[in-house]
Amino acid sequence: EAGVTQFPSHSVIEKGQTVTLRCDPISGHDNLYWYRRVMGKEIKFLLHFVKESKQDESGMPNNRFLAERTGGTYSTLKVQPAELEDSGVYFCASSQVPNGYTFGSGTRLTVV
């Protein structure tokens, strides 16, 4: 069984540019989550999809962040325009039932 796949693994962009991160969950997993870890801080929840619907987006920092999940399969997280404080590692996780998270290896975003 393929795991949760994220790409790119690394992205370096300039302040003000746009970046789109992608997550492919484990096939058949209805629940998809985005988390972020900024330097020196703990991993923090961003949002939760159930299939294509946003179940909880309380952790999204501001309206520069837009998450979508087309057809309940893969998900994208777009940051537009990127700011310096957006730098960090963005993790995606999926599960079929609550509690059974599998994390992807993350996308390291650096905004310069």
Partner 1 sequence: QKEVEQNSGPLSVPEGAIASLNCTYSDRGSQSFFWYRQYSGKSPELIMSIYSNGDKEDGRFTAQLNKASQYVSLLIRDSQPSDSATYLCAVLKAAGNKLTFGGGTRVLVKP
Q: Which of 56, 58, 41 is nearest to 98 (CA)?
A: 56
Where do contacts with partner 1 occur on this chain (CB under 8 A)? 4, 31, 33, 35, 41-45, 48, 55-56, 58-59, 91, 95, 98-99, 101-106
What is the rounded (10 degree) CA torsion for 34, 81, 88, 48? -10
Give the Å distances, CA to CA, from 75 to 34, 39, 58, 79, 88. 9, 24, 17, 13, 18
Which is nearer to partner 1, 56 or 68 (by Cβ)?
Answer: 56
Which is nearer to partner 1, 16 or 100 (by Cβ)?
Answer: 100
In whole angstroms, the minimum distance from the beta carbon of 18 to partner 1 comes to 25
In whole angstroms, the minimum distance from the beta carbon of 41 to partner 1 comes to 7
In whole angstroms, the minimum distance from the beta carbon of 10 to partner 1 comes to 10
